[in-house]
């Protein structure tokens, strides 16, 4: 009888003994047993309540390490792997690719460490880029290595738009094409790379350790760069672009009875400093002038004004205090303060954004900002670009900074490839919205039925983008169960990562209007009050989430005297979401998460204790400052118990700040079990397009038990794969809890 490799997870000694009856043990960790099992015994293990993960055999040529290492996306932004020199691939000194059998077991990691082999990055499908003093022959002797080969010049990614090379399958010289490229290099080799360009008489646009920006013509120089061991990525620079009186009620931060409006939570962002990088700000607007902590002009030195109107509108959705409307139109966090970075240059572009986005965030962080809104991005068709990596790097180094990014406005129903006719297609996210460690926001429809574009259909406004029903005939606003047609969809390119993370209202949003911005820049003027105007886009939904985050951060500070990590805020926000049930929100997958709405629409009544759900209680674990609650190797587990009573759904959300890199570097799993009944749930079990019971692509996992039986529940956070240690995490649990989380 054929045997296959599996991981069998156990909660205690009893389950461990069951596993040992069927599995030939090859390795054992504190949370799972790795071994071989007869195919005929798989069903028996499952009937006994054992969670198993079948190790999939490597696929592809050369034992999995073929030229299909990074499949092409087929979009405007693609990966090219074909060498252009005609000479053939050139091996890069001491760099290799290896593919291993599965999760990086502690014993396997020890063998690599003993040989002084460093893992640089987990690429995908258990394929690792490594630096090794050992030769290929040694790597092939390791029993857990399926395949190994040198890292070659043709493995260095080149990311370009179709406008550079019309044929997406070839990388051919186009002498007439001049483009700007960002080059990712080893920080210690930046000077050598800049000298390379100087020797060729090619002037640099900008440079800093680890990154060079340069204007190139044709592809000959790119071919040479790919041969250098110091060069890791060559990417065409894509210029970043810009991507409420109803929102507070819709998100349940306020409730209304007749004409009376009251808060459902006692938080308005007091003590919070929120950062915004945008076009500029009207510092004299009555709703904003008392909210401004500081303004810095990065795009037009000495001039932070807002002739565009975008930045002022965004700021009002976060901290606007409603003075000009007697409190009718105000932001989600009207008692928060604002640190504003004006990045629009004299030409109207976002030229004030620095070469390295980490510098932008560092400036805000040093000022005291811990929530930062970015309602802009570059066209990327859901690819993970250089600026996504910079976001991930910054958050990984500053784990208490939540960076919020609008998903983009590139959603289209024109000639869809993945969706049905008339529905919005996948793969339209901008960058850095594809960053793992950011909170990416899509747009749902507001409840507005008049004003702005509310009376128009998508076919009326954008007939070339939404040419078919149902999108053609649907109103731009009004149906709060539906998404904005323009809201960019996931997943993230090769990784199948869920993005956007959440959605919030983004159509016909009323907010503060800059006095120097023409009405033509907006969706329309607000009736009888020139201090406000309507705008739409994920640019409008992102600041709503930023304000929402400020309220939750205030809750943690006031209720627990606790400074939350970015992962904890992200987990609390995602844990709050409700599933939108409009046809376009569930177009190809009637569950959450999905590639349209992510984990759903934010909702305060599910986030923290409030007047609308008085039996809702919250418990959490946040280990970013707890070495005793951090993972150091694959297979480790932390187990918590919580008692639950009748009366509310039980929700859990696990989130962690992952080490930088395109794919998931460290993988954690979330499990919940009803102790008495032995019922078990796994994180993200309704994930689209999955072939296993376990999520290997996302650093967010949710479990939602709508009819939670009373009793004690065991919640396990398990290290499915640890490459870079230590790894911290955040866990949020809500429901009718009768206890806090107790570590077992």
Q: What is the pLDDT of residue 95?
A: 93
Asked whether the beta carbons of 162 and 73 are under 8 A apart, the reply is: no
Structure tokens that stand for 379 in this block: 């066209």
Q: Mean pLDDT in the chain?
A: 91
The alpha-carbon radius of gyration of the chain (Å, integer) is 26
pLDDT of residue 77: 39
Across the strands, what pairs with 601?
Answer: 503, 578
pLDDT tens, 337-378?
999 999 999 999 999 999 999 999 999 999 999 999 999 999
What angle do helix axes 386-397 and 357-367 make, rounded to 10 degrees? 30
CA angle 538, 539, 545 (to 5 degrees): 80
Instruction: Assign 87 a pLDDT band (cuts: 50, 70, 90).
Output: very low
Specify the pLDDT at position 160: 80
Q: What does the alpha-carbon distance between residue 721 and residue 725 come to, in Å, rounded to a whole number? A: 10
How far apart are alpha carbons 221 and 587 in whole angstroms?
A: 45
What residue segments make up the domains of the chain, in order of their start? 3-54, 65-236, 241-575, 615-743
* 158 — pLDDT class (breaks 50, 70, 90): confident
Q: What is the pTM of this model?
A: 0.94
3-state SS track over 660-703: CCCCCCCEEEEEEEECCCCCEEECCCCCCCCCCCCCCCCCEEEE
Among residues of the chain, what percentage have pLDDT more than 70?
Answer: 92
Q: Average the pLDDT over 601-630 and give the result.
A: 96
Would you place residue 674 in the very low, low, confident or very high pLDDT band (cuts 50, 70, 90)? very high
Coil, strand or helix: which one is 647? coil
Residue 76: pLDDT above 60? no
Helices 566-575 and 538-560 pack at an angle, to 10 degrees, of 110
Quick one: pLDDT band at residue 73, thresholds 50, 70, 90?
A: very low
> In this predicted structure, what is the pLDDT of residue 248?
66
Q: Is the dihedral of CA 450, 504, 367, 304 positive or negative?
A: negative
* pLDDT bucket at 153, cuts 50 / 70 / 90: confident
241-575 to CATH, choices 3.40.50.200, 2.60.120.260, 3.40.50.2300, 1.10.3720.10: 3.40.50.200
The confidence score (pLDDT) of residue 247 equals 65
pLDDT > 80? residue 438 = yes
Q: CB within 8 A of 171, min separation 6: which ones?
A: 80, 81, 82, 83, 84, 158, 165, 219
Mean per-residue pLDDT, 626-655: 96
| Residues in the chain, overall count | 744
Per-residue tokens: 731: 């866990």
Residue 677 buriedness (CB in 10 A; 0-12 / 13-18 / 19+): exposed
Helices and strands in the chain: count of H runs, count of E runs: 13, 37
pLDDT grade, residue 229 (50/70/90)?
confident
Across 605-649, the runs of DSSP E, i.e. the strands, are 617-622, 637-644
pLDDT over 80 at 707, yes or no: yes
Model confidence band, residue 163 (pLDDT cutoffs 50, 70, 90): very low
Residue 158: in which H helix or E strand, if any? strand 157-161
Q: What is the pLDDT of residue 56?
A: 74
Question: What average pLDDT does this structure show over 79-97?
Answer: 61
Alpha carbons 354 and 654: distance in angstroms, whole number: 33
pLDDT in tens, 440-454: 999 999 999 999 999
pLDDT, one tens digit per residue, over 487-511 is 999 999 777 899 999 999 999 999 9
**Architecture of the structural domain at 615-743:** Sandwich (2.60)
Can you read off the two tokens belonging to residue 653?
């959300």
């Amino acid at each position: 009888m054929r045997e296959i490799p599996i991981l069998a997870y156990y909660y205690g000694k009893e389950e461990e003994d069951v596993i040992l009856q069927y599995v030939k043990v090859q390795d054992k960790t504190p949370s799972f047993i790795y071994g071989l099992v007869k195919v005929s015994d798989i069903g028996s293990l499952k009937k006994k309540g054992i969670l198993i993960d079948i190790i999939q055999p490597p696929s592809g040529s050369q034992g999995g390490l073929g030229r299909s290492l990074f499949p092409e996306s087929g979009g405007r932004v693609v990966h090219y792997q074909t060498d252009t020199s005609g000479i053939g691939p050139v091996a890069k000194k001491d760099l290799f690719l290896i593919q291993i059998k599965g999760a990086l077991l502690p014993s396997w990691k020890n063998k690599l460490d003993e040989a002084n082999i460093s893992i640089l990055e987990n690429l995908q499908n258990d394929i690792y880029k490594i630096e090794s003093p050992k030769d290929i022959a040694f790597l092939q002797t390791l029993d857990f290595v399926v395949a190994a080969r040198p890292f070659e010049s043709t493995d260095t990614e080149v990311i370009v738009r179709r406008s550079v090379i019309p044929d997406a399958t070839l990388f051919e010289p186009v002498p007439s094409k001049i483009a700007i490229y960002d080059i990712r290099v080893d920080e210690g080799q930046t000077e050598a790379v800049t000298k390379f360009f100087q020797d060729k008489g090619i002037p640099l646009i900008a440079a800093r350790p680890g990154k060079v920006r340069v204007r190139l013509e044709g592809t000959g120089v790119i071919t040479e760069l790919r041969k250098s061991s110091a060069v890791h990525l060559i990417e065409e620079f894509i210029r970043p672009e810009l991507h409420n009186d109803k929102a507070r009620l819709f998100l349940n931060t306020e409730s209304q009875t007749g004409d009376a409006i009251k808060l459902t939570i006692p938080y308005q962002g007091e003590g919070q400093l929120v950062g915004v990088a945008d076009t500029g700000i009207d510092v004299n607007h009555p709703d904003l002038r008392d909210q401004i902590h500081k303004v810095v002009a990065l795009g037009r030195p000495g001039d932070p004004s807002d002739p565009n109107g975008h930045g002022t509108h965004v700021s009002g959705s976060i901290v606007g205090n409603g003075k000009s409307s007697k409190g009718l139109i105000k932001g989600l966090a009207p008692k928060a303060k604002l640190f504003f970075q004006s990045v629009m240059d004299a030409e109207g572009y976002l030229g004030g954004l620095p070469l390295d986005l980490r510098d932008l965030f560092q400036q805000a962080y040093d000022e005291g900002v811990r929530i930062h809104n970015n309602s802009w991005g570059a066209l990327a068709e859901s690819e993970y670009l250089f600026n996504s990596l910079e976001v991930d790097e910054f958050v990984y180094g500053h784990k208490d900074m939540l960076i919020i990014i609008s998903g983009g406005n590139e959603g289209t129903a024109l000639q869809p490839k993945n969706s049905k006719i008339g529905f919005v297609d996948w793969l339209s996210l901008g960058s850095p919205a594809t960053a793992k460690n950011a909170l990416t926001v899509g747009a749902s429809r507001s409840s507005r039925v008049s004003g702005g574009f509310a009376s128009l259909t998508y076919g009326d406004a954008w007939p070339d983008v939404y040419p078919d029903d149902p999108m053609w005939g649907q109103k731009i606003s009004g149906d709060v169960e539906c998404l904005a047609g323009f809201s960019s969809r996931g997943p993230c390119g090769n990784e199948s990562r869920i993005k956007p993370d959440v959605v919030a209202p983004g159509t016909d949003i009323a907010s503060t209007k800059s006095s120097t911005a023409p009405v033509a820049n907006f969706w329309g003027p607000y009736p009888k009050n020139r201090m406000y105007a309507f705008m739409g886009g994920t640019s409008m939904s992102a600041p709503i989430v930023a304000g929402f985050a400020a309220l939750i951060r205030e809750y943690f500070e006031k209720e627990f005297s606790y400074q939350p990590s970015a992962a904890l805020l992200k987990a609390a926000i995602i844990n709050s979401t409700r599933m939108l049930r409009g046809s376009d929100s569930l177009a190809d997958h009637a569950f959450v998460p999905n590639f349209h709405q992510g984990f759903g629409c934010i909702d305060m009544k599910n986030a923290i204790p409030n007047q609308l759900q008085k039996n809702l209680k919250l418990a959490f674990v946040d280990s970013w400052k707890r070495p005793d609650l951090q993972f150091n190797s694959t297979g480790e587990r932390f187990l918590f118990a919580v008692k639950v009573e009748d009366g509310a759904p039980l929700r859990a959300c696990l989130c962690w700040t992952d080490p930088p890199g395109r794919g998931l570097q460290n993988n954690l799993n979330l499990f919940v079990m009803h102790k008495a009944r032995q019922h078990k749930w796994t994180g993200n079990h309704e994930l689209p397009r999955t072939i296993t019971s376990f999520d290997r692509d996302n650093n967010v996992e949710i479990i939602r038990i709508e009819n939670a039986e009373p009793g004690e529940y065991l919640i396990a956070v398990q290290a499915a794969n640890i490459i870079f240690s230590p790894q911290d995490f955040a866990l949020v649990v809500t429901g009718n809890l009768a206890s806090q989380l107790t570590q077992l």
